[in-house]
């Protein structure tokens, strides 16, 4: 997981650099070859693991590859639309990893884990959708951000209600009532 976080941090730092220019075609091809080689090495490291640890390792390796390729493509194309697509790919890949990690859990803890994973995916996808709308419209940014915020709030509400399912009676009712109040639901 540390390698994944490191790759993500480097990619984010490069994208945030002022004056960061678009990637050349040769650089793009070289980057994708390097990404594939790294994926192959990461996949080899997973072979020694067993059960869900192996599944998690493979999911992380695939996520790292998908994210790196999407970021490389966004750098190569150097468009807002490509960056929005890369952001969505990141949300999807991170969700796949989170789902595998949830497989080790059971009962309500697994349900909460899955809801949290889904909430993060919804948030990432909403941000990507907002970025895409901004890239296409350039004038209606506030509306796009408002839609994204609403999607995030709905996903967080679902997580909060799922946490309440582990309770019963008045405690559960109070928990659901508090969640509704916190997230503006009636």
Instruction: Verify that 83 and 136 share a domain, yes or no.
Output: no
Residue 144 pLDDT grade (very low, low, confident, very high; cuts 50, 70, 90): confident
pLDDT number for residue 123: 87
Instruction: Verify that 169 and 184 share a domain, yes or no.
Output: yes
Lowest mean pLDDT among 16-20, 54-58, 150-154, 181-185: 16-20
Locus of tokens 């959708």: 129
Is 24 a domain residue?
A: no
Is 22 a domain residue?
A: no
Residue 10 pLDDT grade (very low, low, confident, very high; cuts 50, 70, 90): very low
pLDDT number for residue 142: 67
Residue 65 pLDDT grade (very low, low, confident, very high; cuts 50, 70, 90): very high
Residue 140 pLDDT grade (very low, low, confident, very high; cuts 50, 70, 90): low
Instruction: Verify that 46 and 81 share a domain, yes or no.
Output: yes
Of 104, 133, 157, the residue at which a domain comes to its end is 104
Quote the domain boundaries for residue 39. 32-104
Instruction: Verify that 44 and 88 share a domain, yes or no.
Output: yes
Tally of domains within the chain? 2
Instruction: Verify that 55 and 126 share a domain, yes or no.
Output: no
- What is the Cα–Cα distance from 184 to 186, expressed in whole angstroms? 7
Instruction: Verify that 124 and 174 share a domain, yes or no.
Output: yes
Spatial neighbors of 56 by CB under 8 A, at least 6 apart, are 97, 100, 101
Instruction: Verify that 81 and 114 share a domain, yes or no.
Output: no
Instruction: Verify that 181 and 110 share a domain, yes or no.
Output: yes
Instruction: Verify that 174 and 133 share a domain, yes or no.
Output: yes
Q: How confident is the model over 89-120, as pLDDT tens digits?
A: 999 999 999 999 998 889 998 899 899 888 88
Q: Is the pTM of this model over 0.85?
A: no
Instruction: Considering only residues 11 and 51, tell me which one the structure prediction assigns the higher pLDDT.
Output: 51
Is 155 a domain residue?
A: yes
Q: Please provide the average confidence, as pLDDT, over all residues in the chain.
A: 83
How far is the CA of 84 from the CAs of 131, 133, 135, 154, 157, in angstroms?
A: 6, 9, 8, 21, 25
Is residue 110 within 8 A of residue 102, CB to CB? The reply is yes
Of 76, 104, 132, the residue at which a domain comes to its end is 104
Residue 151 pLDDT grade (very low, low, confident, very high; cuts 50, 70, 90): confident
Is 133 a domain residue?
A: yes
Q: What is the 3-state secondary structure (H, E, C) of the chain?
A: CHHHHHHHHHHHHHHHCCCCCCCCHHHHHHHHHHHHHHHHHHHHHHCCCCHHHHHHHHHHHHHHHHHHHHHHHHHHHCCHHHHHHHHHHHHHHHHHHHHHHHCCCCHHHHHHHHHHHHHHHHHHHHHHHHHHHHHHHCCCHHHHHHHHHHHHHHHHHHHHHHHHCCCCHHHHHHHHHHHHHHCCCC
Lowest mean pLDDT among 55-64, 134-143, 161-170: 134-143
Instruction: Verify that 125 and 79 share a domain, yes or no.
Output: no
Is 161 a domain residue?
A: yes
Is 15 a domain residue?
A: no
Residue 139 pLDDT grade (very low, low, confident, very high; cuts 50, 70, 90): low
pLDDT number for residue 41: 94
């Amino acid at each position: 997981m540390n390698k994944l976080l490191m790759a993500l941090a480097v990619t984010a730092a490069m994208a945030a650099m002022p004056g960061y220019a678009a990637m050349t075609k040769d650089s793009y091809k070289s980057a994708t070859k390097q990404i594939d080689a790294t994926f192959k090495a990461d996949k080899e490291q997973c072979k020694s693991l067993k059960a869900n640890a192996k599944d998690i390792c493979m999911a992380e390796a695939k996520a790292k590859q998908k994210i790196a390729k999407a970021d490389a493509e966004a750098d190569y194309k150097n468009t807002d639309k490509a960056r929005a697509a890369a952001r969505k790919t990141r949300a999807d890949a991170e969700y796949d990893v989170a789902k595998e990690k949830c497989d080790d859990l059971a009962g309500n803890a697994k349900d909460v884990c899955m809801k949290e994973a889904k909430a993060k995916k919804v948030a990432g996808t909403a941000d990507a959708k907002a970025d895409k709308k901004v890239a296409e419209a350039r004038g209606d940014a506030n509306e796009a951000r408002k839609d994204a915020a609403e999607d995030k709030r709905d996903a967080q509400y679902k997580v909060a209600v799922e946490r309440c399912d582990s309770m019963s009676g008045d405690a559960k009712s109070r928990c659901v009532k508090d969640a509704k109040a916190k997230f503006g639901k009636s």
